[in-house]
Amino acid sequence: MSVKANSRPNVVLGVTGSIAAYKAADLCSQLVKAGCNVRVVMTADAQRFITPLPFKTLSRHAVVTDLYDEEEGWQPTHIRLADEADLLLIAPATANCLAKLAHGHSDDALTCIALALNPKAKLLIAPAMNGKMWLHPATQQNVRSLQQRGAKLIGPEEGILSCGYEGLGRLWEVNGIVMAALKLVARS
């Protein structure tokens, strides 16, 4: 599935600190190939798993790694990206990220973008974490809160987790996330 040639949806791809962060590079690549204009925002923890360079190369844009990263112009980058976004896709999303989003915390570029997101933009979240963290009542309450506010979630799925456990918590398959993202921007 790809988007129409005359409309290039603006996708902000948020990458958080999960071992699954390396899969976000493939996600970025596939979204660009499908015709999306992808801007990547990485949390400090995400940068412990993968560097910004692959995302810069794949997206053809500078990667936002800090709330105070500023490009040309007068408008703060996080506000401009929030205004221009058709979709904010957070993949992988950690339990910490879900908690911040659910409670309106905005202490980094990604959570500030989420809080300032234009009302027409969609929010798609692909969680990835330890199964006990995913099933914890606090995380489940945060998920319900986000869904009540219109966020769409995809996953997590079951399988062998990087922590050695088996269960629910793996990042959803990249192709499935891409398809869900493209459906959401096609409706914009």
pLDDT band, very low/low/confident/very high, at 169 (cuts 50, 70, 90)? confident
Quote the number of domains for the chain.
1
92 part of a folded domain: yes
Each residue's pLDDT tens digit, 121-138: 999 999 999 999 999 999
Q: Residue 1's pLDDT is what?
A: 54
Please indicate, yes or no, if residue 1 is contained in any of the structural domains: no
Query: Would residue 27 count as lying in a domain?
Result: yes
Residue 139 inside a domain? The answer is: yes
Each residue's pLDDT tens digit, 18-37: 999 999 999 999 999 999 99
Q: What residues contact 16, with CB distance under 8 A and at least 6 apart?
A: 43, 45, 46, 90, 92, 93, 94, 96, 97, 110
Residue 144 covered by a domain: yes
DSSP β-ladder status, 157-160 and 152-153: unpaired
The answer on pLDDT for 5 being more than 50 is: no
- What does the pLDDT look like over 38-75, one tens digit per residue? 999 999 999 999 999 999 999 999 999 998 877 667 78
* CATH code of the domain in which 113 resides: 3.40.50.1950
- What is the residue range of 53's domain? 10-68+75-186
Model pLDDT, residue 76 = 87
156 domain-assigned: yes
Instruction: Provide the annotated active-site residues.
Output: 163
Question: Is 5 a member of any domain?
Answer: no
